[in-house]
A and B are shown apart, each in its own frame.
Chain A
Amino acid sequence: QSALTQPRSVSGSPGQSVTISCTGTSSNVGGYDYVSWYQQHPGKAPKLVIYDVTRRPSGVPDRFSGSKSGNTASLTISGLQAEDEADYYCCSYGGSYWVFGGGTELTVL
C-alpha cells in the first residue's frame, strides 16, 4: 500500500497547459482503470475532477483531462486559470485497497 508518486510541485502561466503525473505499479494504476483526481484549495474539502482515468464529472471544465499509460496516470490542465491554483491528488484502486498520491501543488504564475 505504498503511496503513488506525484511531483511535489508544478507551475505554469495563465493560458498554458500543465501535466501532473502519478506513478504506481501494475497492482494499482497499471492494473485497473479506476484512477481519480482531486483538487483541493486551502482550507476546503477536496473536489473530484477526474474519475475512471478519463471521465469528467458534471460541472468540471473540459480544460481538465486524464489519461493513463502503463503504471503512470496523468492529469492535464489546459488554458490555465488563476483559480486552478490548488493541490491535486491522484487516487487508484488496488484490488483490495485504495491509495492516494502524495499530492502536487500547482502554482499559476
Chain B
Amino acid sequence: EVQLVESGGRLVRPGGSLRLSCAASGFTFSSYWMHWVRQAPGKGLVWVSRINPDGGSTTYADSVKGRFIISRDNAKKTLSLQMNSLRAEDTAVYYCLPLGVTIFGVGHWGQGTLVTVSS
C-alpha cells in the first residue's frame, strides 16, 4: 500500500524556521519526482517545490524561492522541506506527493501537515 505521511507542522513565529518531513512507503520512492503543495485555510492548492529522483535538481515557486529548501533521502524514503524566514502567508496545510502521475494506476496524497505562522 502506498503511503505518504507528512509531519513537522506546528505553530511558529514570523521569521522562524521549520522542517517538514514526508515518509514514503509502498513504492519505489527513488524513481519519482516529488513535490510539496500547500493549501492555506479556505483557499486553493498552490505548488511549492519539486525535486528530481536523485535529488540533484530542485525548483521552487517564486513565493518561497530563497527561503525554502527541498531535499530527499532515498535510502530512508524521506522527503523534506526546510522552511526559513517564515511569514504569515506561509500558513497552510503542506502535502507531499508525486504530482500529476499515478503509482500502480492511482494518484496518491498524504493527509498533510499544518503549519501556522503567527505571533
Contact = CB atoms under 8 A, between A and B. Distances in A.
Contact of A36 (B100, B105, B108, B111): B100
A58 B106 contact: yes
A52 to B, nearest CB: 8
A91 B45 contact: yes
Interface residue range, chain A: 20 to 34
Given A96-B59, A102-B44, A47 B107 contact: yes
Contacts of A96: 59
A34 B106 contact: no
Interface string A84-97: 00010101010011
Nearest to A46: B109
A51 B100 contact: yes
A98 B44 contact: no
Interface string B82-119: 00000000000001000111101111111110000000
Interface of A: 1, 3, 34, 36, 38, 40, 45-49, 51-52, 57-59, 87, 89, 91, 93, 96-103
A103 B104 CA distance: 27
Interface residues of B, number: 24
B61 to A, nearest CB: 6
Given A1-B62, A46-B45, A89-B44, A98 B100 contact: yes
B106 A59 contact: yes
Given A1-B62, A38-B45, A103-B45, A51 B101 contact: yes
A57 B61 contact: no
A57 B112 CA distance: 21
B50 A98 contact: yes
Nearest to B61: A1
Nearest to B60: A97
B47 interface: yes
Contacts of A89: 44-45
Most A CB contacts (10 A, CB to CB) among B37, B104, B111 go to B37
